[in-house]
Amino acid sequence: MFDEGEDRDIAAGAAQDGPAAAAQVSADPTRGLIVRDVSHAFGGMAALCNVGFAVEAGGVVALLGPSGCGKSTLLRAIAGLIAPDRGEIVLDRRDMTRVPARRRSIGMVFQNYALFPHLTVAENVGYGLASRRLPRREVAARVAEMLRLVRLEEYGARLPRELSGGQQQRVAVARALAVRPSALLLDEPFGALDRGLRAELQDEFIRMQADVGITTVIVTHDQEEAQTVADTLVVMHAGRVEQVGTAEEIYDRLVSLFVNSFMGHANALPGRLAAPKTVTLACGPSLDLDRAPPFPRGAEVVVTARPEHVALGPPGAEGALAARWIRAAPIANMLSVDLELADGTAVKALVDRLGGPRHAPGEAVSLTLDTRRMHVFAPPRPI
Amino acid sequence: MQRTTGAIFASPMLAMMLLFFLAPLGVLAVASVTGPEGGLTLDNYRVFLADGFAVGVLVDTILLGLKTVAAVTLLGVPLALLYWHSGPRMRTLILVATLLPMLTSNVVRTFAWIVIIGRNGPISQTFVELGLSDRPFSLMFSETGLVMALTQIELPLLVLPLIAVLSAADRRLVEAAEVLGADRWRSLVTVLLPMMTPAILAGWVLVFASATTSYVTQSVIGGARLIYMPQFVYREVGVLFQWPMAAAISFLLLVSTGIVMLGVTILARHRRLAAYA
Amino acid sequence: MTFRMTRRGFAAGAAGLLAAPMLPRRAEAAGSIVAAAFPGSWEDAYRTIMAPIAAEAGVDVTIAPALAQDQVGKMMASGGTPPYDALLVSPGQTAMLQEQGLIDEIDPSRLQNWDLLIDSAKTPLGPHVTVEVNGLAYNPETVPKPSGYRELFENPAFEGRFGVQGFGSNTATMAWAEIAKLYGGEPGDMQPVFDLLREKIDWIGAIGTSGNAIRTMYRQGEIDVFMASTGNVARLRSLGLPCEFAHPQSGSPAIPVAIHMTKGASNPDAVYAYMDAAISAEAQRQLAEPPSGYIPTNSEVDFTEIILEFVTPAQLANAIYPDWATINKHRAEWTAEFDRAVAM
């Protein structure tokens, strides 16, 4: 299928009807977190632009985007660390927009955790409880409970720097959850961990989140992580929400070239619409599409195809693009192949490792794009 | 390999220290235990410590250092906090205002204080104009005046390390406290102050060392009635020519201020503070 | 002209700079010496008046400011390589320097102006260049003219208005010796002064640690009377401050100031030339004018207007010259006791 229209209009549309989006995502629209029409600028530079999304109570949403897209700013606005210029933030039916951070009842896990270095693990976890002036005994009991939850019972008397990165992350989560917040915010919580540990802690986080059942917003630039941890993804770009949906919805129904290239790899081939259903690629050959994209004839377009939708064949195959084999790397039972078209455009293909084609670097091959699974977008506007 | 290379590069420094610091200190130590006939004796120390007046001067000197440290802290920490909360313009202003006095000599600043705290100075006149005092008064030759002058003169020694620490400090710690429900006071006491503590302790050592040994300010503002160790030593050296005694007094000053500074340094080594150091 | 510096040149220059403190202190130019002078007005006067006159005689004089007592201390610490070639001190220090063998007798025949000196200025260890007459400096706009030391401690008009110094200062030492006499002390007995200090400690306006500190107090209006030499008064007047000199009824203590040659002076010829310049009529005539107003020891130089305003030759003849041997014997003990008497 082909996507319709120019990406930004859709994104803005999605953002502008926040309540509708909320209804779409949330089973119980009266609970959970709703961000509506939030805009914010730092010294005249727009950081957030009419941003909106919703998380149902107990749901996990991931704010996904490259660095500088505004996702951390949005998280800080939800936490109350910045007051947005415009818009509304509603948590469990309470309008939080003007409530100071210290009274929002939100748990936050900071990037690099921001544990208090001079306080022990137990004191860190109990900090929020002590701020609420709970009796000492109650604090101690809750701290012990939280340390049990993150399996750090033995570590209460240690200082943060005496813990490993993964342990520190769990302390940060325990500290955020200790105060029984209405929502949990996490800023790149797995960013500082190495790959193996990251996967382990992501699993543990999912288990724990399900146990606690807390409304959660997680900021990440890693789409794999977002897919693993969150039910709903909010893809952000340049201070705007590009697309909201489950990982699968987004993967299959891309609204923009940006989302396409950000969610997994997309081979982008520039071209021109020669006929309603025909694109002449910049590298020469034409592709016949199965549906007419909504652009006038002669319009510049970008055709994208995922690596798994690229098939390889012998050189000179009919209707195929000539390419050269550059290198290949195995991924499970697949082979990721880097190719180069005649005009130098790089293309990635994902083929079967066993029984698939094998070539030496530099050898000529041909590639065929699965036209039914391709997307056509307007070319990116220069920013 | 890296260790030996480091040692080679550090060797000029070590040689300097040996030649220009430890060697003279050794000479001083030997002089302090040399009797009039050249033999080894502890008489100089005995005489000093048996003299109630002299011991009083030593105690006063240490108290002066502690009072200055307290005053500098009361003034410097809020100033550093102002720096923390300020925008770039104000930050530059605070930094320049802190650094500027350091560009003039201690002597000049001391004489400026004579004008400020004198009978016809702004402090006295303000009090008279406001009706807080019946007649002009002078803070010259008073410990109050001396501590005031020393506070201003030594202030940069505390504020600069604080500014250095705060410029590099992780603001997210304060945000974390805020999100965890801490009000301003709680986050000041439980997050900001611990964060500043190593710099405060470093500043204390500098201020204490500087205040207890600032001969010019002590003698000009304090006058002859407030006697501190540097004047005492100078008297022995330059008026009475009792050099072994002067060496012994210097050593006692070194040891007693050294103990205070060692205490502060040990405090700074506390494991809870190690992360900020 | 452009200044070009090669790396080699820079290295040599830098090495030279670093090594400079280790080299013999004095430049090797012919006739160049280091002469000590009291900091403040003496230093200024000698730099602006004496140094040029000595330069005409081919001597390049570097004036190094140092109090009399500090000159003694530095000489004692120098161990055979004196930091100065010529010293400027008073009899108290002269006695100490002589006792320690740190100064040499001079050969008067080397000084052309020697015979022009008044007799009292000719001493075997060097010529007196002036006599400082001491008394009380006061501010005529704020306090009455004090009749003597005793009045300062008894007339309420002076309560809290006068400043004193301890026994580190020659001026103060002489004043205290006079006060001790006035309160019944025998020579060498300072007890009446310490009793007085203990009794009247709150009556005294300021006790300073140096002459400069006391004069700063005066300029700031903190005090209106202090123990001073006529030179001090002349100096304050030249700064535009109201200041008068009062001779104590009991007599004005006087103290000569002498130039001595240090033992081991690098260039005795140049020191002689410098001494000769210091007692020359030309130099003393200029030094007798404001702002210094130093009383001449060269018989050819007349008392100037400013000097006559403070001291007549008759008053000078009646001046009191303290016994510095007695003072030196007790100075340490008096200094220590003074601290104890005034300490808060």
Residue showing tokens 């050593």: B251
How high is the pLDDT of residue A187?
94
A40 contacts chain B (CB < 8 A): no
Average pLDDT over all residues of chain C:
87
Please list every residue in chain A whose beta carbon sits closer than 8 Å to the beta carbon of residue B274.
161
* Nearest residue, CB atoms, B179 vs list A101, A115, A160: A101
CA dihedral B79, B84, B88, B91 (to 10 degrees): 20
Give me the residues of B, 253-272, that contact A with CB < 8 A.
271-272
Note whether A116 contacts B177, CB cutoff 8 Å.
yes
Residue B77's alpha-carbon distances to B146, B273, C260, in angstroms, are 21, 18, 55
Go through chain A and tell me how many residues it has.
Answer: 383
How high is the pLDDT of residue C28?
39
Note whether B179 contacts A131, CB cutoff 8 Å.
no
Structural contact between residues C114 and C298, judged by C-beta atoms closer than 8 angstroms: no
For range C19-38, the mean pLDDT = 62
DSSP letter at B121 equals: S
Candidates B179, B195, B201: best to mutate against A (most CBs of A within 10 A) is B179
How high is the pLDDT of residue C252?
93
Largest CA distance in chain C: 75
* Cβ neighbours for B122, distance < 8 A, ≥ 6 positions apart: B116
How high is the pLDDT of residue A3?
40
Give per-residue pLDDT as tens, B133-169.
888 888 888 899 999 999 999 999 999 999 999 988 8
Give per-residue pLDDT as tens, A101-136.
999 989 999 999 999 999 999 999 999 999 999 999
Please list every residue in chain A whose beta carbon sits closer than 8 Å to the beta carbon of residue B186.
131
Which residue in A264, A118, A107, A295 sits closest to A184, CA to CA? Answer: A107
CA-to-CA distance for A116 and B189, rounded, in angstroms? 13
How high is the pLDDT of residue B2?
54
How high is the pLDDT of residue C116?
93
Give me the residues of C, 51-90, that contact B with CB < 8 A.
67, 69-70, 72-73, 76-77
CA-to-CA distance for C127 and C114, rounded, in angstroms? 8
Give per-residue pLDDT as tens, B46-102.
999 998 999 999 999 999 999 999 999 999 999 999 999 999 999 999 999 888 888
* Cβ-count burial C303-322 (b if 16+ within 10 Å, e if not): bbebbebbbeeebeeebbeb
Please list every residue in chain C whose beta carbon sits closer than 8 Å to the beta carbon of residue B237.
73
How high is the pLDDT of residue C102?
93
B274 pLDDT tier (thresholds 50, 70, 90): confident
How high is the pLDDT of residue A214?
92
For range C309-320, the mean pLDDT = 88
- Is a pLDDT exceeding 80 seen at residue C227? yes
Beta strand C206-208 pairing with C162-165: parallel
∠ at Cα A320 (A319, A322), nearest 5°? 135
Which residue in A184, A163, A222, A220 sits closest to A60, CA to CA? Answer: A184
How high is the pLDDT of residue C282?
92
ipTM of the complex: 0.81
Q: Can you name the CATH fold of A4-252?
A: Rossmann fold (3.40.50)
- Is a pLDDT exceeding 60 seen at residue A23? no
For range C199-223, the mean pLDDT = 89
Residue A358's alpha-carbon distances to A313, A330, A335, B101, C119, in angstroms, are 10, 12, 10, 75, 121
Please list every residue in chain B whose beta carbon sits closer than 8 Å to the beta carbon of residue C330.
none
Average pLDDT over all residues of chain A:
85
Give me the residues of A, 203-232, that contact B with CB < 8 A.
none
pTM value is 0.80
How high is the pLDDT of residue A362?
85
Structural contact between residues A130 and A139, judged by C-beta atoms closer than 8 angstroms: yes
How high is the pLDDT of residue C17?
46
Which residue in A305, A298, A335 sits closest to A320, CA to CA? Answer: A305
The residue that leads in pLDDT, B276 or B124, is B124
Please list every residue in chain B whose beta carbon sits closer than 8 Å to the beta carbon of residue C217.
114, 140
Q: Does domain A266-377 have CATH number 2.40.50.140?
A: yes
Please list every residue in chain B whose beta carbon sits closer than 8 Å to the beta carbon of residue C216.
111, 114, 220
- For residue B53, the chain C residue with the least C-alpha distance is C340
How high is the pLDDT of residue A328?
87
A371 pLDDT tier (thresholds 50, 70, 90): confident
C13 pLDDT tier (thresholds 50, 70, 90): very low
Give per-residue pLDDT as tens, B30-47.
888 888 777 888 888 999
- Domain ranges across chain A: 4-252, 266-377
Give per-residue pLDDT as tens, A40-78.
999 888 899 999 999 999 999 999 998 889 999 999 999
**Residue C104 structure tokens:** 């040499």
DSSP string for residues in A304-325: EE-GGGEEEE-TT-TTPEEEEE
Give per-residue pLDDT as tens, C43-95.
999 999 989 998 888 899 999 999 888 899 889 888 778 999 999 999 989 99
B231 contacts chain C (CB < 8 A): yes
Task: Work out the minimum CA distance from C182 to partner chain B, whole angstroms.
Answer: 24
Go through chain B and tell me how many residues it has.
Answer: 277
Give per-residue pLDDT as tens, C117-137.
998 899 999 999 999 999 999
Note whether C213 contacts B231, CB cutoff 8 Å.
no
CA-to-CA distance for A140 and A130, rounded, in angstroms? 10
> Which subunits count as partners of chain C given 3+ CB pairs below 8 Å?
B
How high is the pLDDT of residue A30?
65
Task: Work out the minimum CA distance from A49 to partner chain B, whole angstroms.
Answer: 24
B12 pLDDT tier (thresholds 50, 70, 90): confident
Structural contact between residues B146 and B226, judged by C-beta atoms closer than 8 angstroms: yes
- For residue A112, the chain B residue with the least C-alpha distance is B172
* Nearest residue, CB atoms, A108 vs list B179, B191, B272: B179
Candidates A42, A75, A118, A143: best to mutate against B (most CBs of B within 10 A) is A118
Task: Work out the minimum CA distance from C292 to partner chain B, whole angstroms.
Answer: 23
Q: Which residues pair with B124 in a beta bridge?
A: none
Give me the residues of A, 360-379, that contact B with CB < 8 A.
none
How high is the pLDDT of residue C151?
94
Please list every residue in chain C whose beta carbon sits closer than 8 Å to the beta carbon of residue B121.
220
- Is a pLDDT exceeding 80 seen at residue A21? no
CA-to-CA distance for C49 and B173, rounded, in angstroms? 67
Structural contact between residues A183 and A33, judged by C-beta atoms closer than 8 angstroms: yes
Note whether A110 contacts B182, CB cutoff 8 Å.
no
**Residue A131 structure tokens:** 């701020």
Structural contact between residues A297 and A275, judged by C-beta atoms closer than 8 angstroms: yes
How high is the pLDDT of residue A29?
56
The residue that leads in pLDDT, C192 or B276, is C192
Which residue in A232, A173, A164, A228 sits closest to A199, CA to CA? Answer: A228
A106 contacts chain B (CB < 8 A): yes
